[in-house]
Amino acid sequence: MSEPLLELDGVHTHIGQYHILQGVDLVVPKGGITVLLGRNGAGKTTTLRTVMGLWHASRGTVRFAGGDITQSPTPDIATAGIAYVPESMGIFSDLTVRENLFLAARSVKNADRMDEARLEWIFGFFGALKKFWNQPAGTLSGGQKQMVAIARAIVEPRKLLLIDEPTKGLAPAIIQGMIAAFRELKQSETILLVEQNFSFVSALGDSVAVMDGGRIVHSGAMAELADDRDLQHKLLGLSLDNHQ
């Protein structure tokens, strides 16, 4: 296993009176895709938001690239190299696709100076973005908005991408395109991917962690979980066969 990029050690997060994360221990190794699985309400999104500093951990530590980011403000965490694609996509609908990407390209002062080679690389898997480049992002379809959200996260090289349910509500044809995009992305990026679509992630993930009740209840290689139907039933209440 390669060196850890992100480590959560006994992380607890409270939202108001609710105790959501109840001691999360998670290691995301450098390179590849780590998948975070679990039922609704297990705490997957809260884990991502806690890493991003949108909700701060009340106990435990979050370490990223060797540094403690537990109580860091969100902008500092973003500039440290973590990009977050929320489940709601969070695109800026009044701004054009170009402006959405430019806002994420923090190293350039002008939208015309975005790295063209990198943009072409992005257009390679999200061709629709080139077509709608100067169109308000709010006028795009759900799948295209998801492309904008992911493209925004990768418009510049990042150390870690946190991606929350990218296939939610998308048509099967678009999901196939996403699988191809993630396959290529994982060659160069480290991704922590939250997903409910097991057939989607089983084809992509390198390692997996399963959450339940605000804790990690299983972690290991994705291939092991994909091959073990009993374990799938035990952890997720499903088997891969039912979801293909």
Partner 1 sequence: MIRNLLSGDLPRSRLLSAMLLVVFCGLALAPFLVPGARSLNVAATICVFVVLVASYDLLLGYTGIVSFAHTMFYGIGAYGVGLALHGMGPSWWAIFVGTAGALSLSLVLALVIGLFSLRVRAIFYAMITLAVASAFAVLASQLSDLTGGEDGRTFKVPEILQPGFRLFDAEILGRAIDGKLITYYLVFCSALALFLFMLRIVNSPFGRVLQAIRENDFRAEALGYRTVIYRTLANCLGALIATLAGVLMALWLRYVGPKTMLSFEVMTDILLIVVIGGMGTIYGAVIGSALFILAQNYLQLLMAQASAAMSGAPLLANLFHPDRWLLWLGVLFVLSVYFFPTGIVGRLRTRALLRRLR
Cα-Cα-Cα-Cα dihedral of 118, 27, 149, 242, to 10°? 120
Binding mask 55-84 for partner 1 (x = CB under 8 A): ------------------xxx--xx----x
Whichever of 111 and 203 has its CB closer to partner 1, that residue is 111
Q: Does 103 bind partner 1 (CB under 8 A)?
A: yes
Distance, first Cα to last Cα, the chain? 29
CB of 18 to partner 1, least distance (A): 19
- Asked if 120 and 78 touch (Cβ cutoff 8 Å), the reply is no
Which residue stretch of 16-24, 108-116, 176-184, 220-228 sits at the interface with partner 1 (rule: CB under 8 A)? 108-116
CB of 161 to partner 1, least distance (A): 12
Whichever of 163 and 235 has its CB closer to partner 1, that residue is 163
**Rounded-to-integer distance, Cα 191 and Cα 60, Å:** 22
Full strand arrangement of the beta sheet holding 59-64: 18-29, 4-15, 59-64, 67-68
DSSP, collapsed to helix, strand or coil, labels residue 142 as helix
**Rounded-to-integer distance, Cα 69 and Cα 67, Å:** 6
Q: Residue 118 corresponds to which tokens in the numbers above? A: 């990198």
Q: Residue 113 corresponds to which tokens in the numbers above? A: 């100076």
Q: Does 111 bind partner 1 (CB under 8 A)?
A: yes
For partner 1, the binding residues in 83-102 under the rule CB under 8 A are 84, 86, 90, 92-95, 99, 102
Q: Does 136 bind partner 1 (CB under 8 A)?
A: yes
CB of 230 to partner 1, least distance (A): 39
In the complex, which residues of this chain contact partner 1 (CB under 8 A)?
Answer: 52, 54, 73-75, 78-79, 84, 86, 90, 92-95, 99, 102-104, 106, 109-111, 135-136, 139, 152
